Structure 1
Amino acid sequence: MLDQILQTVILGFIQGLAEWLPISSTAHLKVVEHFWGLTATPLFNVTLHFGTLMVVVFYFRGEVKSILSALVHLDFKSEYGRIILPIIVAMVPTAIVGLLYVWFFEDTLQTILAIGVTFLVGAIMVYVSKTGKESRDTVTYAMALIMGAAQGFAIFPGLSRSGVTISTALLLGLKREKAFKFSFLLSIPAILGDLVVEAYKQRGQMALQGFGPTELAIGVAVAAVIGYAAISLVSKVVASKRFHYFAFYTWLLGLTLIALVIAGY
């Protein structure tokens, strides 16, 4: 029981922290599974995804309420009404890239070597985001398409959703506060879609398999608390122009994983 709870806490902590920091939760969970044998059951994965969704909705509850109100009233001219269509536009390339990954690449890019290489690619993108010029206040449809495609590529283990979308927004010239906010609001429909797809894929394997209601609740609680703190941290780091610092961690981790694979681990 204690071992199960400890495993739940560890997995919840990793999910909550790495989902929102630009360091890829999927890749970290794969690494932990490979080297330490900690695995999350299908039901636990779906539950953590739901917890992840609730965290970002709660953090941006004011913005989400304003967006839903604008949508109900078909108000596309207010501050939050103006980002409804860009979010919808962005979801098209996100879905296309995600489907292409599932159809053609999912089985080949799950190795530790592939994850190590992808960490390096993501690190480069996060690092060069510091060169972006803050010249835009609004997200155009063209920017939304590019950011949506970037978010789609975040399905690759080693690429972070927040990392690629915030970096892309900054490189496109969006102001930092807007880049942070749009990135996370854009993640809500993406995570919801991911949750539905994951639940459908695992519909025949949703038994508890060792994770009882207590463990599930603990995992979600840990992921929620850590996730909320992680979003707050990203907000401060983006505002202070230090977002690119995360690249050093993923560079180091990527090189370490590649070295371990070469060494035969």
Structure 2
Amino acid sequence: MEQLIKTVILGVIQGLTEWLPISSSGHLKLAERFLGLSVPLVFDVILHVGTLMVILAFFKSDVKGVLLALMRLDFKTDYGKLIPLIIVGTVPTAFIGLVLHTFLEEFLQEVLTIAVAFIACGMVLFSAKAGREEKGEIGFFEAFLVGVVQGIAVIPGLSRSGLTIAVALLLGIRKEKAFKFSFLLSVPAVIGALALTMCTEFDRLVISSFGLAEAVVGMGAALIVGYLALKLLWKVLAKGKFHLFAFYCWMLGISLITAFFLGFL
């Protein structure tokens, strides 16, 4: 029962923070450290699958349109034009993400690093307020830059959704297009992360003691909360209040730094 409760808590944390621009990886690391809620590797895989399911459900018409255009090799329609843009954005994401994960993984797990990342994330989120919706379309340059920040967002404390949407807004992309492109671009990134975990950590997955009940409950919590959080994010973004998430990131980052230098961490 205790394991089941912990799984629900982790699922709720993931569901909220994966979609709201406040860093799911940062919150999960803090949950591990302060609540004693270790995240089993198999649960991480389950969350990746859950993330894909939420995106496919929320953006089902857009995903269907992109897939149909890809199968028809039709790159002239609106959905077809997204395909090369997603590819251009995915390349820097994969490169930067792999480099940071390979060479700086231990450093990125430090509480002080996460705290600074939260503050930096808040700065980017707040700067999105200055964005002017001037461009109707996303070009290759914009797609590449959004892909770069998506790769950087593997750092715990930086929000993938927050950084990608904020940068798109700063580049003059309209809210709806920035929102959709951010999450469509995340699909190959999530699939890649899932494949990498399965290939490099397969032995740990096989011997995991994580049960079916925990898997179902954890994914269910993440899916339900995640879908609602994604709807909330769109409403906040549409109302022009996206930058307000910055204050939460700043508060959390400053609190962690203060606690660190006072010797509580």
In the TM superposition, what is the alpha-carbon distance from 1:107 to its structure 2 partner? 1.4
Alignment correspondent of 1:251: 250
Residue deviations 1:74-113, cap 9 Å, x none? 1111111111110011001101111110222111111111
Runs of 4+ in 1 over 6 A off after TM superposition: none
Mapped to 1, the partners of 2:207 and 2:24 lie a distance apart of: 22
Mapped to 1, the partners of 2:99 and 2:113 lie a distance apart of: 17
Alignment correspondent of 2:201: 202
- 5 Å-filtered alignment, 1:183-202, equals 183-202=182-201
Report the AA paired with residue 255 of structure 1. I
Report the AA paired with residue 239 of structure 2. S
Mapped to 2, the partners of 1:6 and 1:210 lie a distance apart of: 16
Alignment correspondent of 1:213: 212
Mapped to 2, the partners of 1:51 and 1:208 lie a distance apart of: 22
Q: Please, what is the CA RMSD of the aligned residues? A: 1.0
Mapped to 2, the partners of 1:227 and 1:16 lie a distance apart of: 4
Indicate conservation of the 8 Å contact 1:21/1:230, yes or no. yes
Worse-superposed segment, 116-125 or 196-205: 196-205
Residue deviations 1:48-94, cap 9 Å, x none? 11111111111111110010001111111111111111001100110
In the TM superposition, what is the alpha-carbon distance from 1:187 to its structure 2 partner? 0.8
Alignment partner of 2:78: what SS? Answer: coil
What number of residue pairs does the alignment pair up? 264
Mapped to 2, the partners of 1:21 and 1:29 lie a distance apart of: 14
Report the AA paired with residue 113 of structure 1. L
Alignment partner of 1:108: what SS? Answer: helix
Alignment correspondent of 2:117: 118
Judged with a 3 Å threshold, the aligned counterparts in structure 2 of structure 1 residues 209 and 263 are, in CA distance, closer, same or farther, namely farther
Alignment correspondent of 1:26: 25
Alignment partner of 1:174: what SS? Answer: coil
In the TM superposition, what is the alpha-carbon distance from 1:211 to its structure 2 partner? 2.4
Q: Does 1:145 align with 2:152?
A: no
Mapped to 2, the partners of 1:45 and 1:19 lie a distance apart of: 12
Report the AA paired with residue 261 of structure 1. F
Report the AA paired with residue 113 of structure 2. A
Alignment correspondent of 2:16: 17
Q: Does 1:106 align with 2:110?
A: no
Alignment partner of 2:61: what SS? Answer: helix
Alignment correspondent of 2:71: 72
Alignment partner of 1:90: what SS? Answer: helix
Alignment partner of 1:211: what SS? Answer: coil
Mapped to 2, the partners of 1:118 and 1:181 lie a distance apart of: 25
Residue deviations 1:134-181, cap 9 Å, x none? 011111001011000010011000111100000000000000111111
Report the AA paired with residue 68 of structure 2. S
Indicate conservation of the 8 Å contact 1:109/1:156, yes or no. yes
Query: What is the aligned-residue identity percentage?
Result: 47
Alignment correspondent of 1:228: 227
Worse-superposed segment, 203-212 or 51-60: 203-212
Indicate conservation of the 8 Å contact 1:41/1:208, yes or no. no
Alignment correspondent of 1:95: 94
In the TM superposition, what is the alpha-carbon distance from 1:207 to its structure 2 partner? 4.2
